[in-house]
C-alpha cells in the first residue's frame, strides 16, 4: 500500500510493495529503504505546501538549516503510535510527528527534536513524547546541548491523559537538565496550553515574528471566560513575548534568522556544566597596548550627569573584535545582557543602559539580569558588569508589583555566583542599586571604577536637599524668598556634595573599589583580571538548595 507521491503510507504494520520479496536479503534491504523513505516523507504534500505558504519550513528542513551538512543522525525514524482510539489505527505514519536525533553545529555535538506540524498537526501523543524523552536522556548522558524546535497543535486528544503524562515527563527532564546542559527552545509555530512550560524552563527561547505563538489559554477561551477580545499576535506573538512578558530571548525576522541566532548563541555556551568553557583565539601581548579605539572611551561619558550615553558602545569597545550578542534585547532595555569574547574567553555581560529610563533598575530589569547571571554561573561563564545606575525605579506600580521581592532576585544571583566576577563602575552607583549591581560586598572579585564614577547613598540633588535643608531654608528667609538666590545656593551645595562624596575615591579608600582607572584602560584591565581569575575556586555552604525570592 502506498501513500501520496508513491511513498509507502505507513498506515499498515509494514508497507506492502508488490516487487519486494522480504524473504531475501535484497528484498529486506529494499523494504528498509521503503520504510525510511516513508519516514522522511511522512507529511502529506498538501500540508507541506500549506506550511511553506506560511513562510515556515518543515521539521526536517529546520534541522538541515540548523546542523552542519550531513551531520544529522536520526533516532526512532520508524517509531509509530500504538493507539486505536477514534480510528487512529488507520493512519500510523512513521516518526509519529516528531523528528529526533543528534548532529553537530560548528563541529560540536548537539541533540535535537523537531515537531512536524504536517503530521497530526505536530500533536503530542505517547510515542511522540517517548521520542522526545529519549533524545533528552541522550543529551544528558553524553553532556551536550538539547535544542527543541516547537511547532505543535498541542496534546493529541485521541490518546487521552497519556499525552498529559508525557508533557509532565518532559518538564521533569527539563528541570533535571537545567544548569547541567544548555537547553534552547525554538518556537516556530503554535505552542499552547501545557506545552509552553517546556520552553519556559529552558535556558533560551527564540521565536519568529508573525508565525510563533505561545499562550496558556487562547483568544477564544479568554473571550468566553472574561469577555475580553484579543488577537493571536497580541496575546502570544513573538513581539509580545520579546517586549512585554519577557518569555522569549530573541525575535527572529524569519526562521532563517532564528536558526542563525541559535547557532551563534551556542558558540558562547559550553556543552555542559563540567566543561572548562568556550575559548576563542586569545589576544596577543601586542593587543594589550592601549589603542585609538580604547581612547574613545575617555570621552564617552558626558560632563553632565544627566546626559545619557550608549552602554552597548562601551561593551563593544571591551569585547574582542567589537562583537557583542545581546539576549532579550527588546525586553527591559534599561539593562543590557549578552555574550561576548574577551581575551578569547566567552564572557557574560550585564550593564545598566543610561539611554533607557536613565539605567534605573525596575522589576523587569532585575528579573532579566538575575536569570542571565544565574545562567552564566551555571555554565561557568565569567560575568562582567558595567554599572551606571541612579537607583530603583520609583512608583506605586513597582512597589505593588513586588519590586522588593523581585529586585532581590538580582542580588541573590550575584551573591550565589561562584564564577569570576568583574565589575566596572562608569558613572552613577547610588544607594541599594549600587549594592545589587555586582558590588564587592556581594562577592565580586575585581571592582574597577572610572574617574567619572559617583558612588554614593543617593544622587547629589536629593542628598543636598536633605543634608542642607535648614541652610537652604535660611537663604530663602534671608532673601525674602528670592527663588534665584535660593537655587544658586542649592546648586553650590549640590556641587559641594559631588566634590566631597559623589566620586570613586571614598570607595577606593575603603577597598570597595580595587582601582580607579582611565576608561581607555578598561579592556586591558578586564583582560588581566579575567586571566588572574581563571583559577578561581569558591564554594558555597552545603545545602539542598537556596530559597531564592521567586
Catalytic positions are: 193-194, 432-433
Direct distance between the N- and C-terminal alpha carbons of the chain, in angstroms, rounded to an integer: 56
| DSSP states along 388-440 | EE--BPPSHHHHHTTHHHHHHHHHHHHHH--S-EEEEEEEEEEHHHHHHTT-G
Class of residue 308 by CB neighbours under 10 A (exposed 0-12, middle 13-18, buried 19+): middle
Are the C-beta atoms of residues 47 and 7 closer than 8 Å to each other? no
- Asked if residues 247 and 200 have their Cβ atoms less than 8 Å apart, the reply is yes
Q: What residue spans of 273-330 are helical by DSSP H?
A: 292-295, 311-318
Residue 264 contacts residue 273 (beta carbons within 8 Å) = no
Distances from the Cα of 488 to the Cαs of 306, 470, 477, 498, in angstroms?
A: 18, 15, 14, 15
Buried b (16+ CB within 10 A) or exposed e, 360-380: bbbbbbbbbbbbbbbbbbbbb
DSSP state of 120: G
Side-chain-side CA neighbours of residue 216 (13 Å): 5
Query: Is the Cβ–Cβ distance between 255 and 208 less than 8 Å?
Result: yes
Other Cβ atoms less than 10 A from the Cβ of 404: the count is: 12
Helix %, strand %, coil % for the chain, to 5?
45, 20, 35
**Which secondary structure element, helix H or strand E, spans residue 184, and what is its range?**
strand 183-187
Residue 303 to residue 87: CA distance in whole angstroms: 75
Closest CA to 335 of 370, 383, 378: 370
Contact 435, 456 (CB under 8 A): no
Cβ atoms of residues 372 and 414 within 8 Å: no
DSSP 331: S
Q: Cell for 354?
A: 543610561
Q: Are strands 345-352 and 190-192 parallel, antiparallel or unpaired?
A: unpaired
Nearest Cα neighbor of 94 from 156, 20, 15, 152 is 15
| DSSP assignment of 319-387 | SGGG-EEESSTTSSTTEEEEEEEETTEEEEEEEE-TTTGGG-B-HHHHHHHHHHHHHHHHTT--EEEEE
3-state SS, residue 274: coil
Cell output for 325:
550578542
With CA atoms as reference, report the closest residue to 515 among 432, 422, 430: 422
Residues forming beta bridges with residue 214, ordered by sequence position: 191
Amino acid at each position: 500500500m502506498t501513500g501520496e507521491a508513491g511513498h509507502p503510507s505507513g498506515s499498515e504494520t509494514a508497507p506492502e510493495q508488490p516487487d519486494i520479496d522480504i524473504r531475501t536479503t535484497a528484498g529486506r534491504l529494499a523494504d528498509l529503504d521503503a520504510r525510511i523513505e516513508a519516514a522522511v516523507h511522512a507529511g502529506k504534500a498538501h500540508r507541506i505546501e500549506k506550511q511553506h505558504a506560511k513562510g515556515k519550513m518543515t521539521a526536517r528542513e529546520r534541522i538541515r538549516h540548523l546542523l552542519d551538512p550531513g551531520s544529522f543522525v536520526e533516532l526512532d525514524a520508524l517509531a509509530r503510535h500504538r493507539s486505536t482510539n477514534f480510528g487512529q489505527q488507520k493512519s500510523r505514519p512513521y516518526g509519529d510527528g516528531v523528528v529526533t536525533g543528534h548532529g553537530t553545529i560548528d563541529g560540536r555535538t548537539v541533540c535535537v527534536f523537531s515537531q512536524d506540524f504536517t503530521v497530526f498537526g505536530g500533536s503530542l501523543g505517547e510515542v511522540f513524547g517517548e521520542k522526545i524523552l529519549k533524545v533528552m536522556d541522550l543529551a544528558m548522558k553524553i553532556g551536550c546541548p538539547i535544542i527543541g524546535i516547537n511547532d505543535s497543535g498541542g496534546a493529541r486528544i485521541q490518546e487521552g491523559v497519556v499525552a498529559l503524562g508525557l508533557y509532565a515527563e518532559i518538564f521533569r527532564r527539563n528541570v533535571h537538565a537545567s544548569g547541567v546542559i544548555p537547553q534552547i527552545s525554538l518556537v516556530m509555530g503554535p505552542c499552547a496550553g501545557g506545552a509552553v512550560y517546556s520552553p519556559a524552563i529552558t535556558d533560551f527561547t527564540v521565536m519568529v515574528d508573525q508565525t510563533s505563538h505561545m499562550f496558556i489559554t487562547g483568544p477564544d477561551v479568554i473571550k468566553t471566560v472574561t469577555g475580553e477580545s484579543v488577537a493571536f499576535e497580541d496575546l502570544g506573538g513573538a513581539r509580545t513575548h520579546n517586549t512585554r512578558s519577557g518569555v522569549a530571548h530573541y525575535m527572529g525576522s524569519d526562521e532563517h534568522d532564528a536558526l542563525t541566532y541559535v547557532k551563534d548563541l551556542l558558540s558562547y555556551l559550553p556543552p555542559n556544566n563540567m566543561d572548562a568553557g568556550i575559548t576563542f583565539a586569545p589576544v596577543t601581548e601586542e593587543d594589550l597596548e592601549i589603542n585609538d579605539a580604547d581612547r574613545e572611551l575617555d570621552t564617552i561619558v558626558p560632563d553632565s550627569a544627566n546626559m545619557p550615553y550608549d552602554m552597548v558602545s562601551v561593551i563593544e569597545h571591551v569585547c574582542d573584535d567589537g562583537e557583542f550578542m545581546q539576549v532579550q534585547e527588546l525586553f527591559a532595555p534599561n539593562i543590557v545582557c549578552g555574550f561576548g569574547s574577551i581575551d578569547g574567553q566567552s564572557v557574560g555581560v550585564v550593564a545598566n543602559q543610561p539611554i533607557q529610563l536613565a539605567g534605573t533598575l525596575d522589576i523587569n530589569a532585575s528579573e532579566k539580569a538575575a536569570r542571565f547571571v544565574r545562567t552564566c554561573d551555571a555554565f561557568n561563564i565569567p560575568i562582567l558588569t558595567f554599572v551606571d545606575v541612579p537607583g530603583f525605579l520609583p512608583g506605586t506600580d513597582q512597589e505593588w508589583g513586588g519590586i522588593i521581592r523581585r529586585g532581590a532576585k538580582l542580588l541573590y544571583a550575584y551573591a550565589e555566583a561562584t564564577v569570576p566576577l568583574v565589575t566596572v563602575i562608569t558613572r552613577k552607583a547610588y544607594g541599594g542599586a549600587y549594592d545589587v549591581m555586582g558590588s564587592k560586598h556581594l562577592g565580586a572579585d575585581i571592582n574597577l571604577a572610572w574617574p567619572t564614577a559617583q558612588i554614593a547613598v543617593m544622587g547629589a540633588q536629593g542628598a543636598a536637599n536633605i543634608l542642607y535643608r535648614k541652610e537652604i531654608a535660611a537663604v530663602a528667609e534671608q532673601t525674602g524668598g528670592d527663588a534665584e538666590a535660593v537655587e544658586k545656593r542649592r546648586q553650590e551645595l549640590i556641587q559641594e556634595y559631588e566634590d566631597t562624596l559623589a566620586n570613586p575615591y571614598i570607595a577606593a579608600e575603603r577597598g570597595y573599589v580595587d582601582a580607579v582607572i582611565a576608561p581607555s584602560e578598561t579592556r586591558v584591565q578586564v583582560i588581566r583580571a579575567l586571566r588572574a581569575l581563571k583559577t578561581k575556586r569558591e564554594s558555597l555552604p552545603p545545602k539542598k538548595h537556596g530559597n531564592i525570592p521567586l
